[in-house]
Amino acid sequence: MRTERTIPIPPRNPEIEPFFAAAAEGRFILRCCLDCAKFHWYPRSRCPFCMGPTEWREAARSGTIYSFSVMRRIKVPFALAYVELAEGPRIMTNIVDCDFDRLAIGLAVTLVFKPAEDGTPVPCFTPAPIAVTSPLATAS
Amino acid sequence: MTDGAFIVGAFEHPARRAPDKSVAELHVESALGALADAGLGIEDVDGYFWSGMMPGLGIVSLIDYMNLRVRHVDSTDVGGASPLVHVKHAVEAIAAGKCNVALITLAGRPRSEGQATGTAPRQGNSLQPDSPWEAPFGPVTANVYGMCAMRHMYEFGTTAEQLAWVKVAASHHAQYNEQAALRDVVSVEDVLASPVVSDPLHRLDCCVITDGGGALVVARPEIAAELDRPLIRPIGMGEAVMGQDGGNIDLTVSAGSRSAPIAFDAAGVDRKDIKYASIYDSFTITVVIELEDLGFCEKGMGGRFVADGNLISGIGKLPWNTDGGGLCNNHPANRGGMTKIIEAVRQLRGEAHPAVQVANCDLALAHGTGGLMGSRHSAATLILERQ
C-alpha cells in the first residue's frame, strides 16, 4: 500500500519557466511588482493589483496555515491547504511529512519541494521544526 | 428596461439515473417539457442558451441535434450558476430585440458515467493559467469546500452541528418529493455520524450525484401575455466572478456578495420581503456562506441562522430549497443552478408540493454558485416576482 501520494505533473509554459528552473536548484521565488512593490500569487508577468511589470525575487520559504482540509475518502489521504506566506500571498499547496490530525489553522510551516511524477519540484509545506508560534498567532 | 421578459416555461427532467439515454436526449426531453409547460412549440424558439459543456463546439452540435433555427446564441459557461446567468442574459437579449422566445437547457449524466464528482479531479485544462499552481495539489470539490468550512469555523465559531441543519432542512422537504434522489428525513446526529469525506465535511454534508436535466423558457411580454401561464418576472438580476485576488483570497466570502447587491438594488426590494429562497447547496457550507453574502444575516452568522430548522418551510423564517435541493433531490450535470430556478418558479406559481408550498408566495429569490468557492467561482442572483 502506498503511503505517499503521487503528485500530478504541473503543466508548464514560458511565462513561469524561471520558477521551475529555480526550484530545480532548490530555490523558491515569487513575483513582485516593480511599480507597487507588492508580491502576488500565482506568478504573473503583470501585477494583478496594478498591471505593472514584475520581477522574480527570492522568498523566505515560511508561512502559516490559512486553511486546510484532509481528504479522507481516498486510498492515500492528503492535506490540501492554503498557506499564507511571510511575503503575504496565500497559496494553494499540500502539507506533507506530518501527522494530519495535528494540523491547525495558524500553524507555522516551512517550504519543502516534493517531486511530481516526472520529478518536477512542486512547492509543498511541512510543519516548522520548532514551535515558534502558537495557533492563535495569526488569528484575525 | 421597461417590462423585461417573463419565465413562461419550466421543467425538471424526472430522471435521476439515465443509463439508457444520451446527454443530447436529456436536453431535448427537457426542452420539450419546458415548451409544453409554456404552451409553445420548438419552432417558436429563436434564442438558445446553454453552457456548451462538451469538448468542441458543444452549442453548435446541440442546436443541430435539436434542429433549432435560432437568431441568438449564448454559450456562457460559469459552472453551476450558468442557468441563472442565462436567464439574466435571456431577459437582456429579449429587451435588446435579439430574440423573442429564449430556450435554456441543462443536462448531464455524471451518475451513469461513474464520476466521483466530489473526490476525484475533473478533467482540467493545462492552458488555464492557474493549473500549474493547483493541479499538483489535488483540489477537488470536497476538499476545496472543506477548506472554506474550516476557515469559517475558525473565524466565526461555526459548528458541524449548524452545518448539519442545512441537510436536515433539505431532507424534511425531500420527503414530499417523489422524484427526489434521497427521501429519508435525517437528523443532525445522522449527518455527524456519516463518514468524513474531507475535513470537516461529512458524506451527508455533500450533494447527490444525479443524471438528468432541466429547461426554462423566457419570452417577450407580448408573447407571455398570450399564454395560459402565471407571469413570473425577473425584477432584479446580478452576476459576478470572484477569484483569489492575486493571493488575498478570503475563503469565507463568495461572489454572491457582489451579485446580490446588484440584484436587490435593481429589484428595489428588501431581504425581509423574500418569501422563498432557492440557494445552491453543493455542500452545507455553501448555503451558510451564500446566506451571509445574500444579506439574510451578518457575515459569520450563517451557522446560527440555519440552526434549529430555520430553513424548513412552515417552521423557519426562510423557506428554502423546498424540492429537497441538491443535497437530497437532484444535482444534474453536477450543476445546481437550473433546479434552483425551477423550484422558485413552482413556488411563485403555487405549484410546489402542498406540504412545502409557501402561502401567497409572490416574491422569490434564486441564487447559485459555479466553480469552486475555495479557488475561483461565479455567482448569480435572480429576484423573481409573480405578477
pLDDT confidence tier of residue A136, bands split at 50, 70 and 90: low
Tell me: the pLDDT tens digits for B21-76? 999 999 999 999 999 999 999 999 999 999 998 877 899 999 999 999 999 999 99
The pTM of the full predicted model, rounded to 2 decimals, is: 0.95
pLDDT confidence tier of residue A3, bands split at 50, 70 and 90: low
Tell me: the pLDDT tens digits for B202-229? 999 999 999 999 999 999 999 999 999 9
pLDDT values of chain B reduced to their tens digit, one per residue, 387 residues = 446 899 999 999 999 999 999 999 999 999 999 999 999 999 999 999 999 988 778 999 999 999 999 999 999 999 999 999 999 999 999 999 999 999 999 999 999 998 776 777 766 677 899 999 999 999 999 999 999 999 999 999 999 999 999 999 999 999 999 999 999 999 999 999 999 999 999 999 999 999 999 999 999 999 999 999 999 999 999 999 999 999 999 999 999 999 999 999 999 999 999 999 999 999 999 999 999 999 999 999 999 999 999 999 999 999 999 999 999 999 999 999 999 999 999 999 999 999 999 999 999 999 999 999 999 999 999 999 999
How open is the CA angle B153-B155-B157, to the nearest 5 degrees? 45
What's residue B196's pLDDT? Answer: 97
Does residue B329 contact residue B177 with C-beta atoms inside 8 Å? yes
β A90-95/A108-115 pair status: unpaired
Tell me: the pLDDT tens digits for A6-30? 999 999 999 999 999 999 999 999 9
A78-103 CB burial, b ≥16 within 10 A, e <16? bbbbbbbbebebbbbbbbbeeeeeeb
What's residue B57's pLDDT? Answer: 87
Q: How far apart are CA B171 and CA B236, in angstroms?
A: 29
Q: How far apart are CA B87 and CA B90, in angstroms?
A: 5
Establish whether the linkage from the previous residue to A42 is cis, with ω within 30° of 0.
Answer: yes
Q: Helix B284-294 and helix B141-156: axis angle, to 10°?
A: 60
| Domain residue ranges of chain A, discontinuous segments joined by + | 11-59, 60-140
**Cβ–Cβ contact A83 with B under 8 A:** no
Beta-strand runs (E) in B299-375: 363-372
B229 min Cα distance to partner chain A (Å) = 47
Q: How far apart are CA B342 and CA B321, in angstroms?
A: 10
Please list every residue in chain B whose beta carbon sits closer than 8 Å to the beta carbon of residue A88: 247
DSSP for B240-304, written as a single string: EEE--GGGT--TT--THHHHHHHHHHHHT--GGG--EEEE--SBHHHHHHHHHHHTSS-TT-HHH
Please list every residue in chain B whose beta carbon sits closer than 8 Å to the beta carbon of residue A124: 137
Q: Which CATH architecture best describes the domain A60-140?
A: Beta Barrel (2.40)
Residue A140 has pLDDT above 50, yes or no: no
What's residue A1's pLDDT? Answer: 45
Which domains occur in chain B, in start order? 6-114+207-386 (3.40.47.10)
Q: How far apart are CA A45 and CA A43, in angstroms?
A: 7
What's residue B2's pLDDT? Answer: 47
Q: How far apart are the first and last CA of chain A?
A: 40
pLDDT confidence tier of residue A131, bands split at 50, 70 and 90: low
Q: How far apart are CA B321 and CA B341, in angstroms?
A: 10
- The answer to whether the CB atoms of A82 and B147 lie below 8 A apart is yes
Please list every residue in chain B whose beta carbon sits closer than 8 Å to the beta carbon of residue A10: 131-133, 135-136
What's residue B41's pLDDT? Answer: 97
What's residue B119's pLDDT? Answer: 75
By Cβ distance, the residue of A12, A49, A67 closest to B151 is A67
CA B91 to chain centre: 18
Ramachandran angles phi, psi of B146, nearest 5°: -60, -40
Name which of B140, B143, B202, B299 to mutate to probe chain A: the one with the most chain A Cβ atoms within 10 A of its Cβ.
B143
Q: What torsion, rounded to 10 degrees, do the Cα atoms B290, B293, B296, B300 define?
A: 90
pLDDT confidence tier of residue A130, bands split at 50, 70 and 90: low
Residue A105: count of CB within 10 angstroms of its CB:
22
β A62-71/A78-85 pair status: antiparallel
Tell me: the pLDDT tens digits for A51-69? 999 999 999 999 999 999 9
Q: How far apart are CA B125 and CA B371, in angstroms?
A: 14
Residue A59, SS3?
coil
Residue A2 has pLDDT above 60, yes or no: no
State ipTM. 0.95
Tell me: the pLDDT tens digits for B64-77? 999 999 999 999 99
By Cβ distance, the residue of A10, A68, A90 closest to B247 is A90
Q: What torsion, rounded to 10 degrees, do the Cα atoms B241, B245, B250, B255 define?
A: -10
**Cβ–Cβ contact A42 with B under 8 A:** yes
What's residue A5's pLDDT? Answer: 87
Q: How far apart are CA B105 and CA B216, in angstroms?
A: 7
Q: How far apart are CA B282 and CA B331, in angstroms?
A: 8
β A121-127/B6-12 pair status: unpaired
